[in-house]
Amino acid sequence: MRVRITDVPIRDAWRALGGGPLRGNRGRAWWREGNGYNVALDDGGRWFDHARGEGGGVLTLVQTALGIDRRAALEWLANRFGVDIGGGHSVAERRHYAQRIEAARTLAVQLVQRRDDYLLDLRTAAGMLLSDYHRLLRLADETEDIELVARAAEVWELLEVVASRRDQFRSATGPELVALFSGIERQVAA
């Protein structure tokens, strides 16, 4: 069962914050060095500082006593009383989620780097194939060797494969990149 802010008894919050003893339903405003029993706590989970004319619920008591903002007060309540502050997720669950997000970002950076490296390799391969293609055509023209023309055509087909692969990797989304690299790894392993 999730703990809500309204489930935290105001007196428990008072004690956890370091509030001194109560006289009846009243205590001293130690956060402002109050010397009288000016802070009233009621059974409905509310507090009121009669000297300052301010009050509220458990959350505003934490904010006022500790001098912190709403978010920090929510974190304090979550850590101290297990109050649910994150859309149904505990502090531990949110930390775990944040760690997973960071790990995913790291993997994404690595995946993009791997893609960029692969694209550079494809560019290098395309440059070498294009050079071979032109060399074979020149030799075929000089020697009138039809076999060299056939080999140049094979090189051109490889160039088209490299260009197609380059286009695939350039436009791929993250999951598509993972699948493309998995396919390459399977081919290499085979």
Tell me the per-residue pLDDT of 126-185, one tens digit each, with 9 for 90 and over: 999 999 999 999 999 999 999 999 999 999 999 999 999 999 988 888 888 888 888 888
Q: Which residue has the higher pLDDT, 154 or 81?
A: 154
Note the pLDDT of residue 65. 94
Q: 35 Cβ partners below 8 Å, 6+ apart?
A: 28
The confidence score (pLDDT) of residue 175 equals 83
Within 87-173, residue ranges assigned H as helices are: 91-143, 146-171
Distance CA 134, CA 148 (A): 11
Percent of the chain at pLDDT exceeding 90:
56
Q: Distance between CA 112 and CA 109 in Å, rounded? A: 5
- Amino acid 32: pLDDT: 92
Q: What angle do CA 24, 26, 31 make, to 5 degrees?
A: 150
Global pTM? 0.49
- For residue 18, pLDDT beyond 60: yes
Residue 113 pLDDT: 92
* Cβ 31 vs Cβ 64: under 8 Å: yes
Residue 63 has pLDDT above 90, yes or no: yes
pLDDT tens profile 31-41: 999 888 999 99
Question: Does position 70 have pLDDT exceeding 80, yes or no?
Answer: yes
pLDDT, residue 181, reads 85
Q: Are 57 and 9 in contact (CB under 8 A)?
A: no
| pLDDT score recorded for residue 60 | 94
Give per-residue pLDDT as tens, 92-121. 777 888 898 898 888 888 998 999 999 999
Q: In three state form, how does the secondary structure of 68-89 look?
A: CCHHHHHHHHHHHHCECCECCE
Percent of the chain with pLDDT over 70: 96
